Structure formats: structure tokens, C-alpha cells
Structure 1
């Protein structure tokens, strides 16, 4: 049973890491669930304090992931169309490889702003704010997912 939980936990952690980039997957909650599953084995035990603090950090980062892009958009004069365009661009960019993941959100935000009638200069500024906000949230999620993978590997090495 432990081996099955360890394998499933690893799959959750990897899926969570991917979900940190893909907007269709709840990245870090999946990674956190992976550590919870690992904790349920008889061979790996995390402290309750560790799991609670990590759970709080997961919630905070999830909230920041929603707040930061909106804040970046508002600070640069963007609209909801820019945020939506950025998310669509991220999703579309995923199918175009690493370069698409980087450029997709910016292009999507730019098109979203242009579609609602912004001038080119204002649309570029808003798209940049949206893109930087989305990028910041993604980096936060990737770092946290990476930290959780580290704890998974470290726990397995100690077995």
C-alpha cells in the first residue's frame, strides 16, 4: 500500500508542477495533496506544523496568483479583456513550446486590449503589466511546487 501511495504522490507532485504553468490544472494544491498522500504512508511522516504551515503558504500563493495579474493590469491601465486574453494566450502558447508559453500571454493580453478599443501604446503597456503579473504568479507557483518536490525526494531518500 505504501508503494502505491508513494507513486500516486509522485504523480500528483509532477502534475502539480505542470499545473503551475497550465491554467487548466490546480498546480500547487495538487502538489500539496501529493505530500499529504506521502504523509499517509507508514514510512514518511511530516510534522503537523510543517503540513499546516505549508497548507497556509499554498493558500496564500494561490490567492496571490489571482491577485497579482489583476494588480499588474490595473497598475498599467489594463482591462479584464487583457487578463482574459493573457490566459487564452498562455493556454494557446503551451501548444507552441517554451517560446509560446513566454510570448502567448503577452500577445493574448495585447489583442484583448486592442479588441476593447485601446490605442496601441496603451494596449502594449497594459499587456506588459498583465504579462508581468501572470509571470510573477507562475514563478511563485513553480518555486513552491519545486520546494514540495524537494521535500518528496528528500523524504524518499531518508527511507
Structure 2
């Protein structure tokens, strides 16, 4: 049974990594679910207050990394709040409209549309801001994957 339990816990972590590129999947929820499942299936005895504090800090950093990467990518290329909102909406809707390419095209098109509609920017400027959104998204995915690896690594260090 232990092997089956570990497979289920590992599946939670794998789903969390899938959530990095499909933002509709809440990555951090699946990571924490893996921790809690371990507690229910094995024991909560390995977890100290320090464990939960450290994992809580990493969770906050995970949320901040996503927002900050998008913000910096758009702001660096001259975008406004409209581009940030458009990028976020595009990121959520894009994968449903165009299943694979929507992950990349959604934030780009959303930021582009936000700038063109709200601030009447020309296509070239709006496209540059859209590229900034895409760079921010990719940077955020990279940063969040590192943070998630650290969270899982600390979990494994604690329980093994």
C-alpha cells in the first residue's frame, strides 16, 4: 500500500507542475494536497511548526512570483494596467480557445488587445508589450518551477 500512497502523492506534485502552464489548475493547492495526503496516509508526526511556516512562506513567494514576473515583463516593454489585465484574461481563456498554442498566444493577444482597446496604441507598440507579457509569463513559469521544486525537496527532506 505504501507504494500506491507514494504514487498518489507524486501525482499531486506532477499535477502541480502541469498547473504552471495551465493556470486554471491551482499548482499550490496540489502541492499542499500532497503534503496533507502524506499526513493522512502515513503520519503528520514529521511536520513541525517550522515546516508549515517555511512552506507557507514559499507559498506566498509562489503567488508573488507569478504576479511580479507578469508585471515586470509588461512594464519593461512600456505596458499599462490594461495590458496586465488583458494578459491575465488571455492566460486564463487562451488554453480553452486554442488548446496548446493558447498558452503562449493568450497572454500575448490579451496584452495586445488591452493596450490597443484602452490606450489606442498602434499595432507595433502593442505587439512589443504583448511580447513583454509573454516573456513575463515564461519567466514566471521558470521561477515558480524552481520554487515548487524547493517546496517538494524540503518536504522530502522532512519526511524521509
TM-score (norm 1): 0.72
SS of equivalent to 1:124: helix
In structure 1, C-alpha distance between the alignment counterparts of 2:88 and 2:116, rounded to whole Å: 16
Deviation at 1:77, TM superposition (A): 1.4
Q: Which moved more, 1:61-70 or 1:46-55?
A: 46-55
Within the alignment, does 1:99 sit opposite 2:101 as a pair? yes
Which ranges in structure 2 are unaligned for 5 or more consecutive residues? none
Q: Which moved more, 1:30-39 or 1:71-80?
A: 30-39
Q: What are the Cα deviations for residues 26-78 of structure 1, in whole angstroms up to 9, with x where unaligned?
A: 31243134224314523983565455333312211211211221222222211
In structure 2, C-alpha distance between the alignment counterparts of 1:122 and 1:58, rounded to whole Å: 35
The answer to whether the 8 Å contact 1:32/1:148 transfers is no
Q: How many residues are treated as equivalent by the alignment?
A: 157
- Call closer, same or farther: CA 1:104–1:63 in 2, change over 3 Å: same
In structure 2, C-alpha distance between the alignment counterparts of 1:150 and 1:115, rounded to whole Å: 44
The answer to whether the 8 Å contact 2:20/2:141 transfers is yes
Match of 1:23 in 2: 23
The answer to whether the 8 Å contact 1:92/1:104 transfers is yes
Q: Equivalences for 1:3-82 in 2 at 5 Å?
A: 9-10=9-10, 12-40=12-40, 41-42=42-43, 45=46, 49-82=50-83
The answer to whether the 8 Å contact 2:72/2:136 transfers is yes
Q: Which moved more, 1:50-59 or 1:67-76?
A: 50-59
- Call closer, same or farther: CA 1:4–1:155 in 2, change over 3 Å: farther
SS of equivalent to 1:98: coil
In structure 2, C-alpha distance between the alignment counterparts of 1:44 and 1:13, rounded to whole Å: 21
TM-score (norm 2): 0.72
The answer to whether the 8 Å contact 2:58/2:151 transfers is no
